[in-house]
A and B are shown apart, each in its own frame.
Chain A
Amino acid sequence: MKISMVIEEKLSAYITKSKKLNSSNFQKKIKTALLSNFTLDGLNETISVKCADIQIGCNTFSGGYNQYNEEILNDKSKLYSFSPDICFLILDTRKILGDLFFSPYNLPVEKRREFIQNKVDELTNLVKLFIKKSNSKLVVSNLVVPTFSPYGIIEAKVSYGLQEMVRDFNQKLSDICKDEDSAYLYDLNGFVARFGQNNVFDYRQYFFGDVKISLNHIPFLANELLGFIKPILGLNKKCIVLDLDNTLWGGIVGEDGFNGIKLSHNDPIGRAFIEFQKYLLSLHERGIILAVNSTNNLEDAMEVIKDHPNMVLREEHFACLKINWNDKVTNFYEIAQELNIGLDSMVFLDDDQVNRDFVGTSIPEVLTVELPNDPSLYVPTLTELNDFNVLKITEEDKKRGKMYLQQRKRTEFKKNAPNFEEYLKQLNIKVRIKKATDFTIPRISQLTLKTNQFNLTTKRYQEEDVRKFSQDKKKIIGCAQIEDKFGDNGITNVFIIDKENEREWVIDTFLLSCRVIGRGIENAILSYICEDAKNKGVKKIKARFVPSKKNKPAETFLPDFGFKKENDYWIYYLNNTIKSPNHLMLKIE
């Protein structure tokens, strides 16, 4: 079996489907632009079809053939009037190197360095200009490193030879993308390496029409680019729900026993499971939540998780463990509820086809992965999934696993508290109000993009938007970091206020991450906003509740606080006393 698990349709199938597309009904929409210095016909159509498959309405733009310079330099270009959300700039080595592609050694080494530096400078200029002129994210591909050289086997002996030139270009490009927040590197060289240059590059198509990625690899390339589109729309997966027997270890613990399961370094099958766990752990460490949904005796399974010498994943890595004899669908709903995350952000991994079909058909929102029946293919199956991408890893992401552990302890503490008021008091909640800064802006944007439940208006803002707001004198952007005796929840609240005029403020956005709902925190922050407004002579605060499919938890927030409905708005007059909960500490930073 091939390592690439993904079986793709031919480009022609996508083109046919693209003609019948009607994506105007989709709630989520995105505008993508494609710039290139070679022919990428069919890529936009394929992206549109793949977007429609996951309920995204995609509107595409394609720059003229090799017109990327003009499109970016000219303020009045079609690119800017299209106003994309994301722009892909895919570049080809041959075009960049020109004659040097075959004869690099006609130039002395210093000239070769100069040549590459000039090309990097040109591209850097384009990247910076585009980012300045547009609100769009920019994804730039690196160059495919040629696998041949006129020098043959002694290529590496040549100082700054052909391959080194291209690698140097790539390194410099990667550095630019590190510095520019809105620029991302797409590893086209890695894509070609994965599929093989001899497969991806078809000489006939190249001579026929300057096609450098063969038509049947276009759908694979589209998959990769979708990896950037999904997180912009908040469609990335956040949680992996795992079966145990034959998923995390070989065999069935209830039958084979603690010593009988396959999880040994001395056994090839055992090594496959150990490696799979290591990869899952790496996902956990960067913020993917892990949970267990297993039909098993709790004691048998926990003994392995706690005491088996070769287990990589331990109890503390799981935000939730459902190990019982209930059906997997019931367990699944309970996990989603306990973790307070949407079913559509969950992935299910189970070796058993019956379980997969049961969960897959009962809860279609969940991404149920077709695990191959050979555990040695578990790792590549998971690495092929392009659904865990985020555009930024925030501090909160890295701490997420720990936070869910704290949450489990909090729940236990609540069970033992004499009453709710006492529980809140003993939590020692601290709320730190922070401004929008370079440190908080990525998280502020992230929260607006993914908070669905306690969110008054569900307005989504990219980092670029938040950055602009933060410089606008007519707006207040704030966020709050929440701590309590069990630990730091990180930044879990965002508010954005429009200072309409001296007498009136309008709440544009107010949201709270679901893991801190129900502890009076939202009221404390809103009181702070009211006090702040009152001190500045403002007379009334206007707010709206815009109902969505998911924001019911925020529905009564405004009236409960004392806002009164007037036409479309909820109004709070600041001559009223502003009540604030007294079980928590509020600090303004």
Chain B
Amino acid sequence: MMSEKLYNIISKIFSVPITEINDESNPETIESWDSLNLYMLIDDIETEFNVKFTLEEILEIKNVGDFKKLLVNHGCELNE
């Protein structure tokens, strides 16, 4: 399962090449993953996918794969 759209947003916010992002990417592997960037990322994802996460869901996010799971739970289609 791969989402071009999601990876593009992540790549833009964290300023890392798309090729360096995978489902396991997390604050340890992406240096610029700080709280401001995370929040901007959530904001962009919410706008782009037209969803709204709860605070609890946000706190559960540990890596890129978690974003995918969340989006699927919210009924988003990631196979693009």
Interface residues of A (CB under 8 A from B): 10-12, 15-16, 19, 41-42, 203-205, 207-209, 211, 215-216
Contacts and interface: CB of A to CB of B under 8 A. Distances in A.
A203 B58 CA distance: 13
Interface in B29-75: 35-37, 39-41, 43-44, 47, 54-55, 58-59
A574 B37 CA distance: 66
Contacts, number: 43
Contact of A16 (B15, B36, B58): B15
Contacts of B13: 12, 16
Contacts of A42: 36, 40
B47 to A, nearest CB: 8
B5 interface: no
B39 A211 contact: yes
Task: Give the residue among A15, A204, A211 with the most B Cβ atoms within 10 A.
Answer: A204
Give the secondary structure class of A's interface: helix
Given A204-B58, A208-B35, A10 B12 contact: no
A11 B13 CA distance: 10
B55 A15 contact: no
Interface of B: 12-13, 15, 35-37, 39-41, 43-44, 47, 54-55, 58-59
Given A41-B36, A207-B55, A209-B39, 6 more contacts: A10-B47, A16-B15, A19-B15, A41-B35, A203-B55, A208-B35
B40 A10 contact: yes
Given A16-B12, A208-B58, A10 B43 contact: yes
A11 B55 contact: no
B24 to A, nearest CB: 23
Given A204-B55, A204-B58, A207-B55, A15 B40 contact: yes
Contacts of A215: 36, 39-40, 43
A19 B14 CA distance: 11
A203 B55 CA distance: 9
27 contacts: A10-B43, A10-B44, A11-B40, A11-B43, A12-B12, A12-B13, A12-B41, A12-B44, A15-B36, A15-B37, A15-B40, A16-B12, A16-B13, A16-B15, A41-B35, A42-B36, A42-B40, A204-B55, A204-B58, A208-B39, A208-B55, A209-B36, A209-B39, A211-B39, A215-B36, A215-B39, A215-B40
A118 B21 CA distance: 53
When A and B form their complex, which 5 residue pairs have the shortest distance between CB atoms, in order from nearest? Answer: A12-B40, A41-B36, A204-B55, A209-B35, A12-B13
Given A12-B12, A42-B36, A208-B35, A216 B55 contact: no
Contacts of A211: 39
Contact of B39 (A19, A203, A205): A205
Contacts of B15: 16, 19
A584 B75 CA distance: 84
Nearest to B36: A41
Nearest to A207: B55
B7 to A, nearest CB: 15
Contacts of B12: 12, 16
